[in-house]
Structure 1
């Protein structure tokens, strides 16, 4: 049963380009399907989640991470009576704007575009679904619903204060170029929280990162399972598993920890979200947006615990010497490519350099960034090998 505060596709604010309703599907179901069939979504299968994904087929890619986020988000949405299709849409789209080589690629392109609006993967996701996907005869992009665009843009909550001043991760700096250049941005209510469906997709991203990166870190040997004894919540789960299954082999132990951690985090979010809903009593999706805080959240007791898990992963995984060494080499690949295309834009495929000689410098650099950001890891390396003689192996 649909909750009164759930997004309703029949009451959607619509699409940028008017289209007939999608027959047997709802508008949000069509949104989801268009993302699944997009080129940007397919490319996620060869984009890094963490760099050691190059070392084997069992580590998560950006695509498998996205699918796991969507599964967690849809389960939470179903329990809360939300629109599962919109929740899944936002979850599937949340990483479309990621560059090759994970966050290192984002940092490199942001530095390359300094003074020209920078680069932000959330904003790039919006650019992809409104401009860069070119599949339909009547429009650029995917012509997604307003609610889907809102969820993509507000993945981390409101972007500006009511007076328009950037806040949160954008405090003290202009909003990303892709947002400022999007002609519907003022209509996305950047000062409010998104729908509860989008909030659920965002917190499911955190849950997936916390649990599945521990799993990948153990598989990669970046840290031994014994180090988890010092991590809040995870340590208790580890103790319980060892008591229930003494002598369990490491692969099964890692999976058991992962699935129990996902379950614990999901149950905490459900309990806290229900409590906040009971207090706020929103009667509509717009009433959710008008709240002074997110309604989908970890409990006050879980917040420092979840932060401690992230701190552990940051120190032992994301900043592991083996990972950072690969990050540096990957960053060099993208810097080299950007410099090469800036010097000779016609080295890009014809579709990307069409009329580029008549573009402003800012437009030229943005097009180069769009091209590089859309590359998969392996295509970036292949392109570097074509242009340079010193391409690293990234292993």
Structure 2
């Protein structure tokens, strides 16, 4: 059975008028859509800083694209696979996962994530996916275990954290649980980022598994909705970051191919990344994938035959010009990335399972398509995100986040007094240092890029007027 009554349960039961046609998943979708954390994604970097141009994607527009692609994949599976024609994947649940998947990203993207993880190494760490679960289940200010109009603080006077976030269904929470691994509470400085969930959310994760069920012993806990969201994220990330990079003048197809063919170290790094997802991938696989992705180099056999029939063979200048046009012309650029997305989606299928295990059916991707997605995604990272121009932004963002965090947790200077009044109140009531540090981390992680820069400027003496609220 793909869905059962336990999937629709919440941490705190509510009166839900399902007879009006609004499902529990649609209610979750609405709560997310109207939440401040979701709105703030518009002020968080995807690839390029938002103040550079109104063309470039931010975390909000990226999430909308992921949700649309995820919904399309689910519709495709429902239409093509007999098992899912009988019990369809819920499109609201899939779309919810796409919208929510980046909710936990801090200001300045992965650089802010790294900075906060360093600050929290001895207090449970920081990681974007773990933060997404925490925002949905605790940080958002919608539902509490007890409602007391005279004391609306999220932490009771006895130090009990009574926040329940958006109080979502267990199946919706399962849809964003990408990594079934508890992050250690204490880790060595300089250690790698650990993907998973915080120890503070361990009881919630146990409750999710109790309600949603567990996969067979050989499989990890990852519902079909979560898997669809995950591959949709990879598709959107790989293609649309490329589109933004081309629009920004950072690259064009022929330039990418030239880099790959001219730098052995780059190919080695690319292969190492691809092999993490595609076992047995080879260097030749990388070249084949990139030649298919960027068919502007005259190696395509069909193109050569067609050109011979027409009595014409393109020269290097024509090929180069075509590549530049793809990158610079809005119509051509959009058509190119749209075709990539469509091709990637058509390579997705599913290995269905029986009975209760159908909810953990395995999403599959054709090997060649998976190599293309991974190669494109990591090529973007290595050549654009790691470029000198963006490394400047990275360094600045990491410094801003660390400075704000260290200032707020400075007990000697009572740094917590810089927090907003409602957060201060919770800070005072929390009983231990770990909880206080996590609260400050939640506050910093929720900042937009612009707000973080403004806050930092205030600390450094050149910020906004004191009459503007924190």
TM-score, structure 1 as length reference: 0.83
- CA 1:285/1:386 → structure 2, altered by over 3 Å: closer, same or farther? farther
Say whether residues 1:387 and 2:446 are aligned partners: no
Is structure 2 residue 211 aligned with structure 1 residue 140?
Answer: no
Residue segments in structure 1 that go unaligned for 5+ positions in a row: 161-170
**Whole-Å separation in 1 of the counterparts to 2:244 and 2:164:** 37
Of 195, 215, 220, the match for 1:192: 220
- Do the aligned partners of 1:118 and 1:177 also contact (CA within 8 Å) in 2? no
- Cα displacement (A) at 1:237: 8.2
Q: Tell me, yes or no, if the aligned pair for 1:28 and 1:85 is still in contact at 8 Å.
A: yes
| Corresponding residue number in structure 1 for 2:311 | none
Name the counterpart of 1:159.
181
| Number of residue equivalences | 362
49-58 or 66-75, which deviates more: 49-58
Residues in 2 aligned to 1:238 and 1:368: alpha-carbon distance in whole angstroms: 52
Aligned to 2:114: 107
Question: What is the TM-score with the length of structure 2 in the denominator?
Answer: 0.70
Does the aligned pair in 2 maintain the 1:97–1:124 contact within 8 Å?
yes
Is residue 61 of structure 2 the alignment partner of residue 64 of structure 1?
A: yes
CA drift at 1:299: 1.4
Q: CA deviation at 1:199?
A: 1.0
Distance 1:268 1:236, change over 3 A: farther
User: Helix, strand or coil for the counterpart of 1:103?
Assistant: helix
Matches within 5 A, 1:31-70: 31-70=28-67
In structure 2, runs of 5+ residues without a counterpart are: 79-88, 148-162, 183-190, 261-289, 304-317, 464-470
Asked if 1 retains the 8 angstrom alpha-carbon contact of 2:129 and 2:195, the reply is no
Residue 159 to residue 22, structure 1, CA distance change in 2 (3 Å): farther
After TM superposition, give the deviation of residue 387 of structure 1 in Å: 1.1
Cα deviation per residue 1:118-137 (whole Å; 9 max; x = unaligned)?
00111111111111111246
Match of 2:114, SS?
helix
Which deviates further from its counterpart, 313-322 or 230-239?
230-239
The alignment yields a C-alpha RMSD, in angstroms, of 2.9
Say which SS state the counterpart of residue 297 (structure 1) adopts: strand
Counterpart Cα distance in 2 of 1:380 and 1:355: 21
Change over 3 Å in CA distance of 1:335–1:172 after alignment to 2: closer
How far apart are 1:390 and its partner, in Å? 7.1
Q: Hey, which bits of structure 1, 4+ residues long, moved more than 4 A?
A: 171-177, 237-243, 245-249
Whichever of the two has the greater Rg, that structure is 2
Of 301, 313, 321, the match for 2:388: 321
Contact preservation (8 Å) 2:7, 2:171: yes
